Chains A and B, each alone.
Chain A
Amino acid sequence: DAGVTQSPTHLIKTRGQQVTLRCSPKSGHDTVSWYQQALGQGPQFIFQYYEEEERQRGNFPDRFSGHQFPNYSSELNVNALLLGDSALYLCASSPGQGLYNEQFFGPGTRLTVL
């Protein structure tokens, strides 16, 4: 049973560029959430996708956008990269109709903005 997978593992970009990160959820899960984790801090919620729609969004600017595909996989796009966007980006999957918010995380994508 495959867990949550993310690609790429590491990424280096320069300010002003755009980046796309990818995530495949755990088998049987139809919901994907994205988090940003700065060094030494807890993850911060970016948004959650369910049934190919953004279901909830955290306090992140419109430069952060996403997409969910019919197979439940998801992409996170960040435009006009800033130095402060350097972080570990985590994808988490969960069963969409669960009463409790059980989320299982992938290994993350380490983004460095120079």
Chain B
Amino acid sequence: GENVEQHPSTLSVQEGDSAVIKCTYSDSASNYFPWYKQELGKGPQLIIDIRSNVGEKKDQRIAVTLNKTAKHFSLHITETQPEDSAVYFCAASKSGNYQLIWGAGTKLIIKP
């Protein structure tokens, strides 16, 4: 079955700098890759997603890239702000399989 690995487990960056979180997946049939942000005591919030027919997607300060050949995808956050501090999860899914397979999460700390 699908397996998603996520790195790093903790990432500390200076406010204003960029942050990059990376995930790899094992099932080449996976075709949907969402990223979620989870703040303490809350449910995961979908922040951006990418489908396998696209290599890159951007939404303001957030971007996601997908390399299907290498089976990895990354989240890029530019100009980080204190409110970006949270746990970020990547996930993968494929058509016909209704569950999301999740990475272990990355705790992002923005230092003032």
B104 touching A90 by the CB < 8 A rule?
no
**The residue from A4, A42, A48, A90 contacting B98, defined by CB atoms under 8 A apart:** A48
* Given pairs A90-B44, A100-B93, A105-B36, 17 additional interface contacts (CB within 8 A): A33-B99, A42-B102, A42-B105, A43-B89, A44-B102, A45-B101, A48-B98, A48-B99, A58-B99, A100-B31, A101-B95, A101-B97, A103-B34, A103-B46, A104-B46, A105-B43, A107-B43
- Please encode chain A, from 71 to 114, with 1 for each CB lying within 8 Å of some chain B CB and 0 for all others: 00000000000000000101000000001111111111000000
A20 interfacial by beta-carbon distance below 8 Å: no
A89 to B103 alpha-carbon distance, docked (Å): 17
| B97 and A43 contacting across the interface, CB-CB below 8 Å | no
The A/B interface has a contact count, at CB < 8 Å, of 64
| B49, A102: Cβ atoms closer than 8 Å | yes
| A-binding residues in B (CB < 8 A) | 31-32, 34, 36, 42-46, 49, 51, 89, 91, 93, 95, 97-105
Query: A43 to B34, Cβ gap below 8 A?
Result: no
> Given A105-B44, A105-B45, do A56 and B102 touch, yes or no (CB 8 Å)?
no
Let me know if A55 and B98 touch, CB within 8 A. Answer: yes
By a CB distance below 8 angstroms, the chain A residues around B91 are 42
| Chain B hits for A6, CB < 8 A | 43
Considering the complex, which residues of chain A in the window 20-49 have a beta carbon less than 8 Å from any beta carbon of chain B? 31, 33, 40-45, 48
